Amino acid sequence: MDDPRWEAVLRGALDDPSTHTLHAQPIVELVTGFVTGYELLSRFAGPWRAAPDVWFAAAHRWGHNPSLQARVLHKAIATRDTLPPNTFLTVNVDPHLLADDVVAEALLSTGDLSRLVLELTEHTRVDEAGRALAVLDRVRSAGALIAMDDAGTGYAGLQLLLDLRPDIVKLDRALVTGIDTDPVKRTLVEVFGDLVGRMDGWLLAEGIETRPELEALISMGVPLGQGWALGRPQAQMLTALPAEDAAHIRATALRTSLTGNIASVVRPARAGRHRDGCEVLLADNGKAVEVRDGAGRWVPAMTVAPSSSLTEVARRAMLRPEQRRWDPLVCTDMNGSVVGTVAMDVLMLALCDAAGS
């Protein structure tokens, strides 16, 4: 990447869009086996067929990284028009580049960023001056979600997790590889799942390469997965897993007892942006902010995933302030859409039934 010829190669790539394409790797719900999203990954053609990370490292070395990442963002935002229904896409960006005008403009010029997940790819403080954080606030206000990549790789990553409170946390592949035979890794993933759940976020395991790893993650209640065992990056979006693979995921989830998941105690609820005629109040970005309790009062909404375990959710609920512990919960899917509500008494009865079975 220190070779001066990279300068001309990078300029050529920026001038010729055909040298850079985005391939989509599916993200799968580990209860239903449905494809629920895609990560967009860069692929480069041209005189030097280097790996994408080498291209971006060279772009950083020769001062073209903002322009190259802005190109990726423009393409990703346009790709939303081709997304299958009820899916999202994630795209990587170095968080420090959010303070660059070229990158910020690529993100904010569209206005609507719904169904986009911005995946932060480095574990350093976003910026000391706060400009990048201000861009992230605007990105969220425009409807995008924030993901943190490679969780579990050290203190810096943990600090970023606490600073950003991301909507999705992607487990580092080092934690996923061999998790079916490593009880310590399983414990670490459970800790991350509990922490992310308390922040109303979603845990996504990436780098799943074997069926035993997949089965272990399903049994632990990790809601989302990604990796070669589920689908490789490809030019065309994979709209569904092979029927046999999807059935295996559902059967594995069933063996871990669906009655142990929140999906079994959700009841339908009306959601809307006005309190009249609904039970869950939505913000302008579609996220649940309040829920009506049994006495008809509006209280802050604690959101949970359908695949979350009864035990995990009960623990989180009981850690709320005393006056809030028995408020109903709001169950939402990966896109933040309201699935329904969960009454705390129903949750506790389900826990008792599970303990007695």
Same structural domain, 219 and 303: no
Using the predicted structure, report yes or no on whether residue 350 has a pLDDT greater than 60. Answer: yes
113: helix, strand or coil: coil
Same structural domain, 220 and 138: yes
**Averaged pLDDT, 288-295:** 92
**Averaged pLDDT, 119-130:** 67
pLDDT value for 123: 57
The pTM of the whole model exceeds 0.85: no
pLDDT value for 15: 82
Cβ neighbours for 354, distance < 8 A, ≥ 6 positions apart: 257, 259, 260, 310
Same structural domain, 211 and 342: no
pLDDT value for 153: 59
Domain finish residue from 220, 255, 290: 255
Same structural domain, 251 and 273: no
> Which amino acid is located at 26 in the chain?
P
pLDDT one-digit tens code per residue, 67-113: 999 999 999 999 999 999 889 999 999 888 898 999 999 999 888 99
pLDDT one-digit tens code per residue, 195-247: 888 788 899 999 999 999 999 999 888 999 999 999 999 999 999 999 999 98
For residue 288, give the CATH number of its domain. Answer: 3.10.580.10
73, 106 Cβ separation under 8 angstroms = yes
C-alpha dihedral sign at 46, 16, 95, 131: positive
Same structural domain, 251 and 320: no
Same structural domain, 233 and 291: no
Same structural domain, 164 and 39: yes
Please report which helix (H) or strand (E) contains residue 248, including its range. helix 243-255
CA 91 to centroid of chain Cα atoms: 11
Domain finish residue from 225, 255, 285: 255
pLDDT one-digit tens code per residue, 152-178: 555 456 777 777 889 999 998 889 999
pLDDT one-digit tens code per residue, 17-43: 778 889 999 999 998 899 999 999 998
82 CB neighbour count, 10 Å cutoff:
10
DSSP state of 287: -
pLDDT value for 326: 95
Same structural domain, 238 and 314: no
pLDDT value for 14: 84
Cβ neighbours for 277, distance < 8 A, ≥ 6 positions apart: 270
Using the predicted structure, report yes or no on whether residue 354 has a pLDDT greater than 90. Answer: no
Cα distances (Å, whole numbers) of residue 16 to 44, 52, 92: 11, 17, 21
pLDDT value for 47: 63
pLDDT value for 17: 77
Question: Of 106, 127, 3, which is closest to residue 62 (Cα–Cα)?
Answer: 3
Domain finish residue from 255, 287, 317: 255
Please give the residue range of the domain that contains residue 91: 5-255
Using the predicted structure, report yes or no on whether residue 302 has a pLDDT greater than 60. Answer: yes
Q: Which two tokens stand for residue 256?
A: 């871990």
d(CA 215, CA 192): 18
Report the chain's mean pLDDT, rounded to a whole number. 87
For residue 136, give the CATH number of its domain. Answer: 3.20.20.450
Using the predicted structure, report yes or no on whether residue 138 has a pLDDT greater than 80. Answer: yes
Please report which helix (H) or strand (E) contains residue 214, including its range. helix 211-219
Same structural domain, 12 and 109: yes
d(CA 310, CA 239): 30
167: helix, strand or coil: coil
DSSP state of 240: S
- Beta strands 271-272 and 224-225 are unpaired
Same structural domain, 301 and 277: yes
Same structural domain, 202 and 332: no
pLDDT value for 341: 95
Same structural domain, 65 and 201: yes
Instruction: Please tell me the total count of domains within the chain.
Output: 2
